[in-house]
Amino acid sequence: MEQASAYRRLGSFHLTAERARDEKQELMETVLVNEMHSRTNQAIDPTALRAQLRDGALLETRAWLASGWEEGADGRSFPVTNPATGDILARVASLGAAEVEKAIASSALAQRGWQKRTSHERAKLLRAWYDLIMANADDLAFIMTSEQGKPLAEARGEITYAASFVEWFAEEAKRVYGDVMPHPQGDKRIVVIRQPIGVCAAITPWNFPAAMITRKVAPALAAGCSIIVRPADLTPLTALALVVLAERAGIPAGVLQVVCGPSREIGAVLTASPIVRKLSFTGSTEVGRVLMSQSSATIKRLSLELGGNAPFIVFDDADLDAAVEGAMASKYRNSGQTCVCANRFLVQAGIHDRFVDALTRRVQALKVGNGIEPGVQQGPLIQKSACDHLNQLIDDAVSKGARIVTGGKGHPLGGTFFEPTVIADATPAMRLAREELFGPVGPVFRFEDEAEAIAMANDTEYGLAAYLYTRDHGRIWRVGEALEYGMVGLNTGVISNEVAPFGGVKQSGLGREGSRYGIEEYLEIKYLCTQV
C-alpha cells in the first residue's frame, strides 16, 4: 500500500510538472503565432510565399543533386498547393528515371570520400546544420504550414523536433564503437568494427515533412553514408528548404541529394539499383509491402515505419483529466494525421460516459481554420481524398450502430476542413476498428475488464504505438508488456523524441529510428581475424 501510495504521489508530481510545461509551451506558442502573423496581418498570399520569409532563398523549387540545383528535364514540374486555400504555392522540378540513376551514381562517388572523414568532422558539419535549422525555424515553420496545413505553433514544434535528430546524431557519430573478442585459438585475435552500409535512399511522407527527413538523413550522414531523399509530392518545399541549409552548413555535394517526381518511377529506380544498399520508408503498410518486394532482388536492408491502429486504453481508475489531455494530444494533433495517433479509444465501462462527455467538451472547443491564423488548433486535411475516406468510415460506423456525439462531417469552412469528431458506441465490426483513420475522428469503444482490453487492443495487423491510462502500478506492467506494439505510452499521450527508439512490430514496420539504436540501421558489422 505504501509503495502504491508513493507511486501515486510520484505520478501526481510528474503530471503537475507536465501541465506546467504545457502551460509555458502554450504561452510560447501564442507569442510565436502572433509574431508570425504580424508579418502579413492577413492569411498568407500563396502567390508571394517567398516575400513572406525573412530569407526568401529558403523557398527552393529545383532538385538538389551532386551537380547543384537542377531543373527537371524539359522543364517538367508539378504544382504544390496550400491545403487551406487550394491555391498553388509553387511548381517544383520533376525528375525522371534517368536523372535518378545519375543521382545514384554520384551518390556512390560522394560516399567514398564522406566515409573517410573522421567522425568528428562529420559531427561538426551536422552540428552546423542543426544550428542553421534552429536559426531559421520561423521561416521553415511558415513554409511547412503553407504546404501542409498544420497550425504554425505545431509546425514550429516540428522544426524543433526535426532539429533534435540532427543534434543527437551529430553526437552519436562519435560513438560508433567496435569490439575486441578472445579467439578460441591463442595465436589469433578477433576485432569487430562497424562501417557505413553505403548509399542509402529515403522516401518520406507529407504529414511530418521535416522530422521524417532528419530522422533518416541525420543517422545516415553520421554513420558515413550518402543518402538520396525522395520527399512527398504534397510537401517538397520543406525538404528543399532543409537542404538549402545543409548546403550552407558545408555538407558536401552528392552526400545529400533530393529528387522529386513520380513516386512509382523514382521508387522503382531506387529499389532496383544494386548501388543503393539501404532504403528507409515512412508511409502506408500497402506501399511498404510493394517496396519490400521490389527490394528483394538486391537484398537491401530496409527500415519501414508503416501504418498504425493505436489503441488508447482508459481504465476505471485512470486520472480522467490526464486521460482526456493525453487523448487530445494523441488524437487531434496535426488534424489526426499522424501514424502514432490514437485510432481507437478503448474505455472501461465505469468511466466510459464521463470520458466521452469530457472529451466531447474539449473537442468542441477546438478552433478550426487556416493554420496561419492566430489561435487555430486544427488546420485542414491534406487533400479531399482524406475527407472522403473519413466520410466512408463514419457512414459505415453509423450504419452498424455507432452514434455521432459531435462533428462527423466536413467543416462549414469547406474545402478539406473536417469537423473534429467523437463517435460513441463503436464496435469491432466497424471498419474504423480495423482501418487507419488519419483524421480528427475519435471512435470510443467500451470494455469490461483487463483481459478484454488487451484482446481488443491486439486484434489488429498493426503494432506501432499504444497508450494506457491507469493508476494501478501492477496493471501498467501487465498490460504494457501484453500489448503487441513497438511503443507504449503509459499515462502519457506524447511518446516521440530523439532519444527513444521509434518503430513498430507486426505489419507496422521494421527497424528503429532515433536513439542510439537508430544509427545501427546504417552500419554494417565487419569481423577482422588477426594472426599474432
What are the backbone angles phi and psi of residue 442, rounded to the nearest 5°? -115, 100
Which residues are within 8 A (CB) of 6 and not within 5 positions of it... i.e. 6 or more apart? Answer: none
Per-residue pLDDT of the chain (532 residues; tens, 9 = 90+): 333 333 333 333 233 334 444 444 444 444 444 444 444 333 434 457 999 999 999 999 999 999 999 999 889 999 999 999 999 999 999 999 999 999 999 999 999 999 999 999 999 999 999 999 999 999 999 999 999 999 999 999 999 999 999 999 999 999 999 999 999 999 999 999 999 999 999 999 999 999 999 999 999 999 999 999 999 999 999 999 999 999 999 999 999 999 999 999 999 999 999 999 999 999 999 999 999 999 999 999 999 999 999 999 999 999 999 999 999 999 999 999 999 999 999 999 999 999 999 999 999 999 999 999 999 999 999 999 999 999 999 999 999 999 999 999 999 999 999 999 999 999 999 999 999 999 999 999 999 999 999 999 999 999 999 999 999 999 999 999 999 999 999 999 999 999 999 999 999 999 999 999 999 999 999 999 999 9
Instruction: Say whether both 469 and 490 belong to one domain.
Output: yes
Strand partners, 376: none
- Does residue 54 belong to any structural domain of this protein? no
Which runs of consecutive H residues, i.e. helices, occur in 149-230? 152-172, 211-223
Residues 427, 522, single domain; the answer is no
d(CA 227, CA 42): 39
Lookup result for grid cell 528548404: 241
In a domain, 58, yes or no: no
The residue from 70, 247, 305, 436 that is catalytic is: 305
Whether 431 maps to a domain, the answer reads yes
Q: C-alpha cell of 160?
A: 524543433
- Which among 493, 445, 460 is positioned nearest to 338, based on CA atoms? 493
Q: Answer yes or no: are the C-beta atoms of 486 and 503 closer than 8 Å.
A: yes
Say whether both 119 and 177 belong to one domain. Answer: yes
Same domain, 176 and 320: no
Residues 328 and 289 in one domain: no
Are 332 and 263 in a shared domain?
no
Cβ–Cβ < 8 Å for 199, 159: no
**Rounded CA gap, 278 and 125, in Å?**
22
In angstroms, rounded to a whole number, what is the distance separating the alpha carbons of residues 531 and 5? 61
- CA 15/CA 26 separation, integer angstroms: 16
- Asked if residue 347 belongs to a domain, the reply is yes
* Contacts of 297 by beta carbon, 8 Å cutoff, 6+ apart: 272
Residues 370 and 487 in one domain: yes
Residues 257 and 115 in one domain: yes
Query: If we measure between CA atoms, which residue out of 323, 325, 333, 281 comes closest to residue 157?
Result: 333
Residues 322/325/331/336 CA torsion (nearest 10 deg)? -160
CA distance 255 to 503: 26
491 within a domain of the structure (yes/no): yes
The reply to whether 29 belongs to the active site is no
The Cα–Cα gap between 61 and 70 comes to: 9
Pairwise CA distance, residues 376 & 233, whole Å? 25
Domain boundaries, position 492: 309-459+465-498
Say if residue 171 is in the same domain as residue 254.
yes
Q: What is the per-residue pLDDT for 73?
A: 86
373 and 513 co-located in one domain: no
- What's the CATH code of the domain at 76? 3.40.605.10
pLDDT reported for residue 192: 98
Burial degree of 461 (CB within 10 A; 0-12, 13-18, 19+)? exposed
Closest CA to 464 of 306, 282, 334: 306
Q: Does some domain include residue 59?
A: no
Check residue 40 and give its pLDDT.
38
Same domain, 350 and 472: yes
Q: Which H or E run contains 456? A: helix 450-458
Q: What is the distance, to the nearest Å, from the Cα of residue 333 to the centroid of all Cα atoms in its chain?
A: 12
Please report the pLDDT score of residue 409 as a whole number: 97
Integer Cα distance of 344 and 412 in angstroms: 26
Number of domains in the chain: 3
The CATH number that applies at residue 360 is 3.40.309.10
37: in domain: yes
CA distances from 518 to 1, 214, 274 (A): 40, 12, 23
Radius of gyration of the chain (CA): 24
Segment holding 143, helix H or strand E: helix 137-148
Q: Dump the DSSP string for 261-314.
A: S-HHHHHHHHHH-SSEEEEEEES-HHHHHHHHHHHGGGT-EEEEE----EEEEE
Pairing of strands 441-447, 342-348: parallel
Domain membership of residue 195 (yes or no) is: yes
C-alpha cell at 4: 502504491
Say yes or no: 98 and 137 in one domain: yes
Note whether 261 and 273 are within 8 A (CB). no
